[in-house]
């Protein structure tokens, strides 16, 4: 390799020699390509004449790849190198290692988190059996000539129409929210923050005006949430500009995949049908033993099922968009949807079970740490809980779904690798202050509150005793359906952050994130930081 560093001295310029050199280059290149395709990297001997150094001149010196080694032209002739002997060919040869995951890793055929996949399927079997049984009991009650029949007819007349109307309204709002966010992201971020405040406040005031104990309790809850929502909107007002920039940039690739919304529509359709049957099961439970317990179990089952549907849509969109960023691939949406429903379904079940609880507890603990007080014991406990939640967050977070979709990792492994990636690129402060997930959550709350306003007024006019129950169900249905639809923008934003962290030099990324990092490092970021480490314990 020392000779390779010497300057090239060209002493002869004969057309015949140049012709031979070009022919030999082509032959050696073809041989090199064949060897490289076979995964073989060998060596070739250099043949140098016996003439003394002063009798020949170096005509050309060129550095080639391992399959086409250094060639030296002696006396204007290009030597032909002998091929390795069979003994040399049989020797093991080193293959180059790749710094990035190979393409084979993108098509992992391993089922992730199989235990939770089994638990989810078992839960679905039990839920379907319970729904069918309760439907049978409801039909059986209608056929009897007693008080049960009269109660069943009352439920069908005054309960079912409002809840089904809430289902239709929620799926309509879900389509509308997703379309509006995709078309007008800059306007919709502000609109969602304040419309959620107004709708939840309106729902609370309306329920209180009915002057029933159950509706008053619900009304106080909605008003309390609206106050918190208003304070949050004021607190994050300086983050909105950056959130809008990221959302606009991350949604751009969606137009390149016309069928990307199709899995969302499938999940919304399946969710609507399942909720319709679920509503009938709730009606059957009202005339069965221990109705509160059965209804609570049905609600938990529906929450887990719809959350899995949302994350299946999340995984589908994440794989399509992430492969576009990382590999420039035009992925087949249908194939990605199949992977999410089969190989990655276990991780979707595990994430759907724990991520909402982890994020909710993390928000509560962070809220406590934003307060200052004189009670050292209480705030020491809050600080301790914050450290515990931050440790748990590394092993389970919503950012993990991108690496699950792309590399087929398990949920815990993907969470660890994703957060380590953010730390390596110094992005943890930026992703912590991102409000995209909050915007998607508030969109669901806004839809649920609007369903409450419509359904509560209708129910109070026809059957007042059902007002609180139907209002709560309407909010639940509206929230869940909208959350499924909002999986698309949330997945796009997650892909933008994670793919940037994996390859910041990609030409598809602009200077939005680097400028934000520089602003934070320079101390010109005026945004109130989200607490990640207890302030009293900071050095």
Residues 6 or more apart whose CB falls under 8 angstroms from that of 38 comprise none
Instruction: Output 376 or 475, whichever has higher pLDDT.
Output: 475
Please name the residues in contact with 11: beta carbons below 8 A apart, sequence gap of 6 or more: 57, 58, 59
CA distances, 42 to each of 340, 409, 523 (Å):
43, 36, 55
Phi, psi dihedrals of residue 434, rounded to the nearest 5°: -70, 135
Q: Among all chains, which residue has been given the structure tokens 């050696």?
A: 28
Model pLDDT for residues 143-165, shown as the tens digit of each residue: 776 666 677 777 788 788 888 89
Q: How many CA atoms lie within 13 A of 44 on its CB side?
A: 22
CB 475 within 8 Å of CB 449: yes
| pLDDT reported for residue 211 | 86
pLDDT tens readout for residues 318-347: 999 999 999 888 889 999 999 999 999 999
Residue 198 near residue 181, CB atoms below 8 Å = no
Q: What is the mean pLDDT of the chain?
A: 79
* pTM assigned to the model: 0.77
The model's pLDDT over 100-136, given as tens digits with 9 standing for 90+, comes to: 444 447 878 889 999 999 999 999 999 999 999 988 8
What mean pLDDT is predicted for residues 55-73? 41
> 43 to each of 92, 132, 432, 484, 496, how far by Cα in Å?
12, 72, 52, 58, 44
Structure tokens at 20: 């031979």
Q: How many whole angstroms separate alpha carbon 337 and alpha carbon 316?
A: 5
> What is the arithmetic mean of pLDDT over 472-484?
94
pLDDT, one tens digit per residue, over 410-431 is 999 999 999 999 999 989 889 9
Residue 274, phi then psi, degrees to nearest 5: -65, -40
Distance CA 102, CA 180 (A): 38
Q: What is the pLDDT of residues 365-412, one digit of tens each?
A: 777 766 655 556 666 777 787 788 888 888 999 999 999 999 999 999
**Residue 202 neighbours by CB distance under 10 Å:** 17
What confidence tier does 94 reach under pLDDT thresholds 50, 70, 90? very low
Does position 11 have pLDDT exceeding 70, yes or no? no
Nearest to 10 by CA among 49, 52, 54, 58: 58
- Of the two residues 529 and 454, the one the predictor is more confident about is 454
Report residue 80's pLDDT band, with 50, 70 and 90 as the boundaries: very low
**Is a pLDDT exceeding 60 seen at residue 454?**
yes
User: Alpha-carbon distance 281 to 297, whole Å?
Assistant: 11
**Mean of the pLDDT values across residues 71-82?**
45
**70 vs 247, more confident:** 247
Q: How many CB atoms lie within 10 A of CB 446?
A: 27
Whether the predicted pLDDT of 209 surpasses 90: yes
> End-to-end distance of the chain based on CA atoms, in angstroms?
52
- How far is Cα 24 from Cα 26, in angstroms, rounded to an integer? 5
* Residue 479: pLDDT band with limits 50, 70, 90: very high
């Amino acid at each position: 390799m020392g000779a390779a560093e010497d300057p090239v001295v060209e002493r002869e310029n004969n057309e015949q020699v140049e012709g031979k050199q070009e022919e030999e280059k082509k032959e050696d290149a073809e041989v090199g390509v064949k060897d490289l395709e076979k995964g073989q990297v060998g060596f070739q001997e250099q043949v140098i004449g016996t003439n003394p150094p002063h009798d020949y001149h170096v005509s050309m010196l060129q550095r080639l790849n391992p399959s086409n080694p250094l060639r030296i032209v002696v006396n204007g002739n290009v030597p032909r190198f002998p091929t390795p002997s069979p003994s040399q060919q049989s020797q093991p040869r080193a293959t180059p290692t790749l710094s990035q995951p190979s393409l084979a890793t993108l098509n992992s055929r391993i089922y992730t988190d199989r235990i939770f996949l089994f638990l989810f399927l078992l839960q679905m079997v039990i839920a379907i059996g319970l729904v069918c049984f309760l439907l049978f009991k409801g039909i059986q009650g209608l056929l009897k000539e007693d008080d049960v029949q009269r109660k069943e007819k009352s439920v069908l007349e005054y309960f079912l129409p409002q809840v089904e109307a809430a289902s239709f309204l929620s799926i309509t709002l879900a389509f509308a929210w997703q379309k509006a966010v995709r078309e007008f992201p800059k306007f919709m971020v502000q609109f969602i923050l304040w419309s959620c405040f107004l709708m939840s406040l309106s729902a609370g005031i309306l329920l209180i005006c009915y002057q029933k104990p159950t509706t008053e309790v619900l009304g106080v809850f909605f008003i309390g949430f609206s106050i918190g929502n208003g304070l949050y909107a004021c607190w994050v007002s300086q983050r909105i500009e950056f959130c809008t920039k990221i959302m606009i940039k991350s949604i751009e690739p969606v137009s390149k995949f016309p069928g990307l919304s199709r899995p969302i529509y499938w999940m919304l359709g399946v969710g609507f049908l399942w909720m319709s049957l679920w509503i009938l099961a709730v009606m059957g439970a009202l005339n069965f033993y221990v109705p509160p317990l059965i209804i609570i179990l049905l609600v938990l089952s529906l929450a887990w099922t719809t959350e899995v549907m949302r994350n299946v849509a999340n995984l589908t969109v994440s794989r399509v968009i992430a492969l576009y960023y990382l590999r420039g691939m035009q992925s087949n949406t249908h194939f990605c949807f199949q992977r999410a429903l089969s190989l990655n379904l276990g991780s979707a079940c595990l994430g759907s079970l724990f991520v909402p609880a982890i994020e909710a507890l993390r928000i509560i603990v962070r809220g406590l740490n934003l307060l200052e007080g004189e009670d050292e014991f209480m705030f020491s406990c809050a600080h301790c809980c914050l450290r515990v939640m931050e440790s748990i967050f590394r092993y389970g977070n919503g950012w993990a779904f991108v690496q699950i979709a792309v590399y087929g990792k398990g949920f815990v492994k993907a969470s660890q690798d994703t957060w380590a990636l953010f730390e390596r690129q110094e992005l943890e402060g930026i992703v912590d202050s991102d409000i995209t997930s909050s915007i998607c959550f508030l969109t669901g709350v806004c839809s649920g509150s609007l369903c409450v306003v419509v359904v509560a007024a209708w129910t109070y006019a026809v059957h007042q005793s059902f007002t609180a129950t139907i209002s709560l169900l309407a909010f639940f249905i509206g929230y869940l359906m909208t959350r499924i639809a909002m999986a698309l923008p949330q997945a796009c934003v997650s892909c933008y952050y994670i793919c940037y962290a994996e390859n910041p030099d990609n030409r598809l990324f602009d200077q939005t994130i680097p400028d934000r990092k520089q602003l934070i490092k320079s101390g010109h970021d005026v945004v109130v930081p989200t607490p990640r480490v207890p302030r009293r314990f900071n050095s």
